[in-house]
Amino acid sequence: MSDDRILGIDFGGTKVALGLADRDGTLLATRRLDTDAHAGAEQVVVRTLAAARALLADEGAAPGRIGVVSPGIVLPDRILLAPNVPGWEQLHLAELVAAEFPAVPISVGTDAKAAALAEWRWGTLAGADPAVFLSLGTGIAAAVLVGGRVLTGANGAAGEIGYNLLSPQDTEGFASGAAPLEEAVGGRGLGGRASELLGRPVTAGELFALAKENVEAKELVTAALDELSMHVANLAIALDPQRIAVGGGLVRSADVLLPALADRLAHAVPFPPQLVAARFDQDAALLGAVALALGG
């Protein structure tokens, strides 16, 4: 079996993506699984590793390297700031994957930061310095690249803008278990409020589509975009990036999302950065796992 392939695994809040790629970042085969978060962390990992084995068998490949990404700050013995899947923060993710694939080099990291590497290496952030990758999906996060290197921060938490405060009244924020911006504009929070508003289950993506004809949905989307665009503008003012790439599940609504962000950047930022959709759309974190395995 060929061993020059890279196995990428992207653990997300609602789905897991697996991909087999070559060293140029071309995905040769992919699989998707539901996270089934309410059933806990262990079952997600068990099912994912079984699916990875099946994928490799189907493709007749043995991985030369493995990259694994997840929400939160991925440390050797635990994962921080990843509350969406019960038990996820207690996982020894690198050890679990290494036990399934002994002797294969394994790299682990944060999904949004890895996605930024993929966009800088192969995508729309190529050549931009500084650059920002904005991940808008179940959660909200940003990754900052300077000279092609991801800014991690003292604790690995640089860019965790989901914890941004919304007003002076948000005096506790993280200490009280809140992620104010993520709850306000992330996919999970938007979907929950839309479901309450419309009296039936509604996803964030469906909400954006409904906003084109439903007044209540439009008001909810407008308020969310007003909030989000303010934070993106403040980030641009602080960092003065050359380019911002927007990825994640909410980019499926780019026709509504990007103009709102661009308008705020144009009016609020002294030197507005270029604003682009991520090249890899829904596969940015998966290709980020591949980039991570290749050394960034």
> pLDDT for 16-66, tens place per residue?
999 999 999 999 999 999 888 778 788 889 999 999 999 999 999 889 999
152 and 37 in one domain? no
Task: Give the whole-number percent of the chain exceeding pLDDT 70.
Answer: 99
The answer to whether residues 158 and 25 belong to one domain is no
Residue 121 maps to a domain: no
Contact by Cβ (8 Å): 4, 24: no
User: Same domain for 207 and 234?
Assistant: yes
Tell me: do 158 and 268 sit in the same domain: yes
CATH number at residue 153: 3.30.420.40
Number of domains composing the chain: 2
- Please report whether residue 132 resides in a domain: yes
On whether both 146 and 212 belong to a single domain, the answer is yes
258 lies in a domain?
Answer: yes
Q: Is residue 287 part of a domain?
A: yes
Q: Based on the domain organization, do 146 and 61 belong to the same domain?
A: no
Q: Which residues lie across from 109 on neighbouring strands?
A: 69
Give the residues across from 287 on adjacent strands: none
The Cα–Cα gap between 285 and 15 comes to 12
Cα–Cα distance, 236 to 211 (Å, whole number): 27
Per-residue pLDDT of 256-271, as tens digits, reads: 999 999 999 999 999 9
> Is the pLDDT at 287 greater than 60, yes or no?
yes
Q: Are 92 and 76 in contact (CB under 8 A)?
A: yes
Domain of residue 45 covers: 6-114+283-294
Are residue 132 and residue 100 in the same domain, yes or no? no
Give the type of residue at 93.
L
**Same domain (yes/no): 163, 261:** yes
Same domain, 270 and 290: no
143 and 209, same domain (yes or no): yes
Say whether both 143 and 91 belong to one domain.
no
The model's pTM: 0.89
CB 6 within 8 A of CB 21: yes
Q: Are residues 132 and 272 in the same domain?
A: yes
Across the range 76-80, mean pLDDT stands at 81
Question: 1 in a domain, yes or no?
Answer: no
- Residue 95 counted as domain residue: yes
